[in-house]
Amino acid sequence: MKDLALRYTYVDSPIGRLLLAGDTRGLHYLGFPSGRGSLAPPPTWTPDPSPFANVTAQLGDYFDGRLRVFDVALVMHGTEFQRRVWTLLRDIPFGETRSYGWLAAALGTPRASRAVGAANGANPLPIIVPCHRVIGADGSLTGFGGGLPTKRFLLELEGALAPADDEQLTLI
């Protein structure tokens, strides 16, 4: 990541300032303002908001409840297995959740729930690649790079979790 000469900008959102980084091929990273998924631009990156007008507009529409599916060119940095998990995450419909076990089974590796969890946690493009839609087998909210309050906010925004609900979701 740090060796790439990317452009970056920050975009304000209801969950804080998000860092966007990419180049002419597409968006490489979306970073949260704090937590495990926070991201700071290394010296090789250049501040430049111009490549991000489309994704910024789509994020605004998403947070305003007008967008359910992102249409953004993505450059995914990860192993083949991670990229398979991230591709499957993009197939989880807006307003729905899946468990780590469900994802593992869908990948043809039903015993790989932990590996799926690790790949989910390494997702460089949260929100757009909706890792927040993955929950525990018992329906509980589980770890998230932006923190559990952010995960709860995103699931409430999408209608997968009712406001003031407990942390139990119905798996589909």
**How many domains does the chain contain in total?**
2
Per-residue pLDDT at 36: 81
Note whether 92 and 134 are same-domain residues.
yes
Per-residue pLDDT at 163: 82
Token readout for 135 is: 């929950």
Note whether 142 and 89 are same-domain residues.
yes
Residue 1 in domain:
no
Per-residue pLDDT at 113: 92
Note whether 40 and 86 are same-domain residues.
no
**Of 100, 122, 118, 133, whose CA–CA distance to 37 is shortest?**
122
Note whether 27 and 96 are same-domain residues.
no
Q: What is the pTM of this model?
A: 0.90
Residue 54 domain boundaries: 7-63
131 annotated active-site:
yes
Per-residue pLDDT tens digits of the chain, which is 172 residues long: 556 789 999 999 999 999 999 999 999 999 998 888 788 999 999 999 999 999 999 999 999 999 999 999 999 999 999 999 999 999 999 999 999 999 999 999 999 999 999 999 999 999 999 999 999 988 889 888 899 999 999 999 999 988 865 545 444 3
Per-residue pLDDT at 165: 54
CATH, residue 109: 1.10.10.10
Note whether 39 and 103 are same-domain residues.
no
Q: Is residue 120 exposed (0-12), middle (13-18) or buried (19+ Cβ within 10 Å)? A: buried
Note whether 150 and 89 are same-domain residues.
yes
Which of 21, 37, 63 is a domain's end point? 63
CATH, residue 15: 3.30.160
Note whether 50 and 90 are same-domain residues.
no
The residue from 131, 134, 154, 160 that is catalytic is: 131
